[in-house]
Structure 1
Amino acid sequence: MAFDFLVPVEDRVMAHCELLPAQSLGKNCYIHTEKDGLPVLANATMAIVGVKESRNAFEKKLEVLDVSAIRIQLYRLMLGNWDSTLVDMGDIEEGNTVEDTYFVVKEVVAGLLEENIIPIVIGATQDITYPAYRAFDGIKDMINLVAVDSRFDFGIDDDLISSHSYMSKIITDKPNNLFNFSNIGYQSYFNAQEEADLMERLFFDAHRLGEIANDLTLAEPVLRNAHMVSMDVRAIKASELCASANFSPNGFTGREICAIARYAGLSDSLRAFGIYEMENNVQSQQLVAQIIWYFMEGVNFRIPESPYSKTDDFTKYMVPNEMEEFVFYKSLLTERWWMQVPSIFSSHTKGDAMALLPCTEQDYLDACDQKIPERWYKAYKKGFE
């Protein structure tokens, strides 16, 4: 079984946990230890998995990721008013080859998905997103992937997979289970025009750093439809992390990235969360721990709802347009919005998962002004591909 490859959490983390107050996370999770072995997964909601593989890093890593230091910062945080159960599965060490590591990541994540447990992958490099994505094979047909990243990561060589080109591998590899890819926080000067053109051709969604930073709520509908989120810590400004030259002076603030993580957790579609590319310094470790805490809080406050399941809880809006009639739904409980995309019902599509598309109130107002919402148009076109 793939879980047999997991290395127990280090003794120094367990020694630190002994000194923590009863209300801390470290005292309220089940941890894979040398003494007690793997925790029982029954009733578990989320599971932490560390991945130390870094051989495919675009910028070579000078040291091994210290996942234990991140754990120490996470476990000292206080438990929220939550009813979920967290387990810590330990770490995946580097295999004999990178492919060996990928295989173990895929199997471990798949095993957790089959148990309906949300993996929280703490990885040294973002190429680990690829085996985590492949873990959905045979579990879910079509995947919506969201990357919180300053780059699109398509790279320039389809045959090479690195932390800057893993998306090319996801797009081209068979079976092709990627339904939609969305980027949150890209910075134009880091991305070649060819990459931006590819995003357009494939009707993928891209949201600039400034757009999201000016209104964080724009990230919510993007994340609401995600099955998997891959967060690159390099999307955060360097000063927030005391980070090295591989980080940018521009990026999300600590508050903004934590809000985005919470939106990700709130998405009842989300099955897997990964955070990558952090460095071994205390400020970085503290922020990563807080990002995970906010993600966990989001998961705990999920409100599963769909306009198709309980129509009494929604207001339906019909907006006539020259092209066709737009249909919007607004939740009376959460005030979240959805819009219907007719092309998704077409026989040309691989499924009806996108028939209801999360959106914003502004999309509804645009439709009222006879403007076609961009996210509606992209989903409409994608449905006939």
Structure 2
Amino acid sequence: MSDFSILHDYLLPISKVSLNDDQEYDDFQIGGVTDAYEVGHIPDLETADVILLGVSEDRGYGPGRRGPEAPDIVRREFYNLYYWHRAVKIADLGNLRKGITLEDTYAALKTVLGELINASKTVIILGGSHDLTYSQYKAYAAQKYVIEVTVADAIIDLKEGSSIPADNFLMEMLTEQPNYIRHYNHLAFQSYFIHPHMLETLDKLRFDCFRLGKVRENLEDIEPVLRNTDLLSIDINIVKHHDAPANTLSPNGLAGDEACALTRYAGMSGRLSTFGIYGYRPEKDRESLTAKQIAQMLWYFVDGCAVKNKEALLHDRDAFYEFNIVCADLDTVFLKSKKTGRWWMKLPGKGKENEFLPCTYSDYVTASNNEIPERWLRHQERL
């Protein structure tokens, strides 16, 4: 990934000095340690663990007046935060050039992400409208990578007949053939915005949908979902209006600290390679509070990456506590990491002798009571 020239034509540099009102960043601020693409300076992508990419494309919202560029407003807040994990190297590729058409931007984003995914990098995409998720997915599909996708959104963007890409991009993403989505999760939807038949359809496809109340009831249950995720897409409308004033969809949603917990879980995933955060409308924000919220979500994502780097591989059994259980006449094994406290359970069935599914302590307790955990059952149904 040292050949920056592959990506150069798709990108625009940023100016850290301009983002910080002509001041230098402190050496302990994120802006001071981030290796950014600026005029005259090319970042070292080879050593980077996390790469930022701004995509201000918002034509997916449909026709109408555009506000200021969202990625740089988030960058300003993110760069001002203090950095506690210097072992996690951050690079910033600047901003993706907007194409002449929306489809041109989609194609450019797919190309850039494809190069970074193939270089085994973790990429944070600062959007932009939520339909950019489709290009995020196409970066994998172009390589024929079969992946697990998780979207966090107060609504489910499957609105048939809509001409607005941000309202219906999931339809094409989930139904096009050939399809490379092994499994789809939807987090924090608000039921009163969702047609019941839509949920029934997703359930028939064995996709997992978690309503807002379920997510808030026990955030720890969502951690295994994110641990198994390759692509994460978040619409900022999952955060309640009080904590993210630019979210004008609903007064309800996750609290700001709950959203930070979710992104920390995402950062801890050893599989996740792209994380997009979309839907930020600066013209609707108040005192940059939503930008500050997103910046802190990014901080916790990087915090999770620091935890991920400490985790042992599953085949290193000395790094795990092992629990053998007979559950509903099935012999199974639970593993608990000595380093992070996270849990995995062995899957039954032919050909699954060495496959473990991320789970929680509560799944272990359920199995200890001779009941098959729901997470296990859902996975077997999909198989």
> Is contact 1:224–1:358 with CA below 8 Å preserved after alignment?
yes
Is 1:29 equivalent to 2:31 in the alignment? Answer: no
TM-score (norm 2): 0.89
Separation (CA, whole Å) in 2 of partners of 1:125 and 1:250:
21
User: Which of 250, 253, 257 matches 1:251?
Assistant: 253
TM-aligned CA distance change 1:161 to 1:337, over 3 Å: farther
The gaps in structure 2 that reach 5 residues or longer are 1-5
- Cα displacement (A) at 1:67: 1.9
Q: Name 1:316's counterpart in structure 2.
A: 322
- Stretch deviating more after TM superposition (148-157 or 373-382): 148-157
Structure 1 residues 253-310: Cα deviation after superposition (integer angstroms, max 9, x where no partner): 1111111111110111111111000121311111111111111111122133343x11
Q: Could you tell me which residue of structure 2 aligns to residue 190 of structure 1?
A: 193
Give the aligned partner of residue 348 of structure 2. 342
1:153 maps to 2:150: no
Matches of 1:11 and 1:313 in 2, distance apart?
Answer: 42
Structure 1 counterpart SS, 2:21:
helix
Name which of 269, 276, 280 aligns with 2:271: 269
Deviations 1:352-380 (A, max 9, x none): 9x932111111122223333222211211
Residue type of the partner of 1:227? Answer: D
Closer, same or farther: CA 20–188 of 1 in aligned 2, 3 Å: same
Stretch deviating more after TM superposition (362-371 or 173-182) = 362-371
Measure the CA separation in 2 of the matches of 1:11 and 1:82.
19
Code of the aligned partner of 1:155: K
Q: Secondary structure at the match of 2:83?
A: coil
Distance 1:321 1:21, change over 3 A: closer
Contact 1:3 1:108 in 2 (8 A): no
- State how far apart, in whole Å, the 2-side matches of 1:286 and 1:45 are: 23
Residue number in structure 1 paired with 2:305: 299
Determine whether 1:167 maps to 2:170: yes
CA deviation profile, 1:71-106 (whole Å, cap 9, x unmatched): 111111111132122111111233111111001000
Partner of residue 214, structure 1: 217
Q: Would you say 1:373 and 2:350 are equivalent positions?
A: no
In the TM superposition, residue 161 of structure 1 has moved relative to its aligned partner by: 6.8
How far apart are the structure 1 equivalents of 2:303 and 2:54?
Answer: 20
| Match in the other structure for 2:3 | none
Match of 2:53?
A: 49
CA distance in 1, matches of 2:65, 2:194: 22
Cα deviations by residue, 1:91-137 (Å, 9 ceiling, x for unpaired): 12331111110010001111111222211100111111111111123
SS at match of 1:239: coil
Mark the CA change 1:242 to 1:17 in structure 2 (over 3 Å): closer, same or farther: same
- Say which of 292, 295, 309 aligns to 1:289: 295
Q: Which residue of 2 aligns with 1:104?
A: 108
Which SS does the other structure have where 1:301 is aligned?
helix
CA distance in 2: counterparts of 1:144 and 1:301, whole angstroms? 21
**How far is the alpha carbon of 1:335 from its aligned partner?**
2.2
Instruction: Give yes or no for contact 1:13–1:72 (8 Å, CA) kept in 2.
Output: no
Tell me the amino acid that sits aligned with residue 365 of structure 1.
V
Looking at structure 2, the residues matched to 49 and 170 of structure 1 have their Cα atoms a distance apart, in angstroms, of 22
Q: Which amino acid aligns with 2:330?
A: E
CA contact (8 A) 1:145 1:182 kept: yes
The answer as to whether partners of 2:307 and 2:340 remain within 8 angstroms in 1 is no
Structure 1: gaps spanning 5 or more residues: 347-351
Identity of aligned residues (%): 29
Displacement of 1:19: 3.2
Moved more, 354-363 or 127-136: 354-363
Q: Residue in 2 aligned with 1:362?
A: 362
Q: CA deviation at 1:44?
A: 1.1
What SS does structure 2 have at the residue aligned with 1:154?
coil
Seen in structure 2, the aligned counterparts of structure 1 residues 190 and 332 have a Cα distance that, compared at 3 Å, is same
State the AA in 2 paired with 1:162.
P
1:66 is aligned to 2:70 = yes
Match of 1:349 in 2: none
Moved more, 1-10 or 108-117: 1-10
2:137 paired with 1:133: yes
Instruction: Give, as a single letter, the amino acid of the residue that structure 1 aligns with 2:275.
Output: F
